Structure 1
Amino acid sequence: MFDFRPDEGTPKPEAYRQLLDAAEALTSGEPDGVANMANIAALLWDFLPDLNWSGFYRVVDGELVLGPFMGRPACIRIPMGQGVCGVAAADAATQLVEDVHAFPGHIACDAVTNSELVVPVLRDGAVVAVIDLDSPSKARFDAEDAAGIEALAAVLAERI
């Protein structure tokens, strides 16, 4: 049994260091990308407070297709450049959105989501997936969260 949760009150930089260690332990040596995404989606869900969705969208034939996740059922396909995930994938850039309702073209897969962090996973300069985190709280995510998930994306680039 794995229990990687940080102790309550752990400073955010240390919590993300522990998250990276846990991701390393879960994915090291495992060649199946779907298995790795599934474990990381569950790890994020368990590790980070105040989420209502954590998971992946994969780039398949020029669009985003739902990958492993934790949370309520989600949109299956997202066109590149549409919604927070589609913009992150099209621009190959992290999207840190304090209020999704103010984001032009936001795709509401879950009406309770109020903030979102989407980080592209790059392999050889190309986006292969995005890590998507949703929260029911406005402004749930900050620059430290973005940096932590970007570091996670770098670890996963060759593992998913």
Structure 2
Amino acid sequence: MPFNEAWGQFKTQEIAEWTKQYDPSRLVNPASGGNHYACGDMLDLHNYPGPEMYLYDAQRATVLGEYGGIGLVLKEHIWEPNQNWGYIQFNSSQEATDEYLKYAKMLETMITHGFSAAVYTQTTDVEVEVNGLMTYDRKVIKLDEQAVRSVNTRICHSLR
């Protein structure tokens, strides 16, 4: 993936072709959530907070390279106590887990419309972003781990 969200994006088709020639064994994502060109192996969309597939490319995999941003602050485990940010904020692990499961149902529906993959943002909290499945210090898993594992397994089996 040479580009993310159009930051510094230029000569996208040329760079995607060069990348594929450099290592033909790998899939090339020309621009994750960036300006979209008909090149590379996938069309990568970003959508927050919930998943949405607003473009489709029948010639390449259509993926959701970023979605989520479910915010949950656990005060004893944050980087900065006075400023924290999430696309949406919840007050409990149960509320945040319920939102994650709601998004998972949306992903399952998208599979029948050509959706190929999704990446939840993000694995851990980072600095002032509290969107992680785990806290900044990696000491607490903020969502119900078993519920997340179960729904993710179900989605992965649906994609086969």
| Structure with the higher strand share, 1 or 2 | 1
Which protein, 1 or 2, shows the higher relative CO under an 8 Å CA cutoff with sep ≥ 6?
Answer: 1
Higher CA-based Rg: 2
Same fold (TM over 0.5): no
| TM value normalised by structure 1 | 0.33
| TM value normalised by structure 2 | 0.33
| Structure with the higher helix share, 1 or 2 | 1
